Amino acid sequence: MGPDNGYLEGQMLIAMPGMEDPRFQRTLIYMCAHSGQGAMGLVVNKVMDNVTFPDLLEQLGIQGGSGPEKDVRVFFGGPVEQSRGFVLHTSDYVQDASLIVNEDYSLTASIDVLKAIADGTGPDKCLMALGYAGWAPGQLEAEIQANGWLHVPADKDLVFGPDHEAKWPAAVAKLGIDLSLLSGEAGHA
């Protein structure tokens, strides 16, 4: 699947400068699923200031060491089901409950992935998101036609890179366009 069939799983959605929804202004979304039934993705550049991964582990009663969980950041994944957690990760770690997006990325929403991260047996790279971005059938396509979003291929720096503020401009740069030339207005001939 992917852009070859008109669907965008495995791609990065880039919110255009004219994005009116404040929840999505300057966001970069990794698309986990996109089909005729709708779409689902995770915002990968909006870190939550009030929640840490060790705090989440503690709330869930998961013993964490001083290992890799210290480096896991918790993101605002989107406005849908914000109390639900999702781990976007490299496909070196896959469970029965994992959604394999492609050969590079998988998504797991079970507590087992959190335990694996805490004990050092989890994926090589991951990010934790609370909530997700979701679209009904045809909704994302309409938003793209209305100049709300552009897309680029995902890469590990855009998804897992440590400089979250730099992800959106880096994704725009991959497009090879000058932001100052973009308008939020759709043109008609």
pLDDT digits (tens, 9 = 90+) for 131-183: 999 999 999 999 999 989 999 999 999 999 999 999 999 999 998 877 666 55
- For residue 82, give the H/E element and its range: strand 80-90
Rounded CA gap, 58 and 56, in Å?
5
Taking a C-beta distance cutoff of 8 angstroms, is the pair 123, 90 a contact?
Answer: yes
Mean pLDDT value of segment 85-100: 93
Rounded CA gap, 90 and 60, in Å?
23
Using pLDDT thresholds of 50, 70 and 90, give the confidence band for residue 51: confident
Question: Please, which residues have CB within 8 angstroms of residue 120's CB and are 6 or more apart in sequence?
Answer: 65, 67, 68
Which tens digit of pLDDT belongs to each residue from 26-50?
999 999 999 999 999 999 999 998 8
Q: Where are the domains of the chain?
A: 3-59+73-85+127-181
The yes-or-no verdict on residue 103 having pLDDT over 60 is: yes
Q: Which string of b and e fits 13-31 if b means at least 16 CB within 10 Å? A: bbbbeebeeeebebbbbbb
CATH of domain 3-59+73-85+127-181: 3.40.1740.10
Least Cα distance to 67 among 78, 57, 77, 59 occurs for 57
Rounded CA gap, 91 and 126, in Å?
10
Task: Write phi, then psi, for 169 (nearest 5 degrees).
Answer: -60, -35
Distance of CA 158 to the CA centre of its chain: 10
Is the whole-model pTM more than 0.85?
Answer: yes
Taking a C-beta distance cutoff of 8 angstroms, is the pair 31, 10 a contact?
Answer: yes
H runs (alpha helix) in 40-185: 53-59, 111-118, 139-145, 156-160, 164-175
* 22-29: long-range pairs with CB below 8 Å, 24+: 23/78, 23/79, 24/133, 26/168, 27/168, 28/158, 28/167, 28/168, 28/171, 29/78, 29/133
Using pLDDT thresholds of 50, 70 and 90, give the confidence band for residue 59: confident
Q: What is the pLDDT of residue 67?
A: 57
